[in-house]
Amino acid sequence: MGDEKAPASRSGRRNFLVGLLTGAGVVAAIAGVNRTTAARPAGSASGENPGGGPILYRRTEETERYYRTLYR
């Protein structure tokens, strides 16, 4: 009889621990968000690379030709 209740209580404990770890992960992710990206200086939006991160895409003549032919 004791064995019948053991799996149910283990399942409940496991769900509790999963929820606890998930909540801790969410709190850590929210706490780790860089809040300075929302408050950029006013002049930085008009620059060539406003984010300051790596440049992932540059417009060149070759890419312009590609997109012109792609949409025609």
Q: pLDDT tens-digit profile of 43-58?
A: 444 456 667 788 888 8
- 57: which residues sit within 8 A by CB, 6+ positions away? 63
Whole-model pTM: value is: 0.35
Q: What is the pLDDT of residues 16-71, one digit of tens each?
A: 999 999 999 988 888 887 665 555 555 444 456 667 788 888 889 998 888 888 87
Which residues fall within 8 angstroms of residue 51, CB to CB, at 6 or more apart? 37
Tokens of 46: 């008009």
Q: How many whole angstroms separate alpha carbon 17 and alpha carbon 26? A: 14
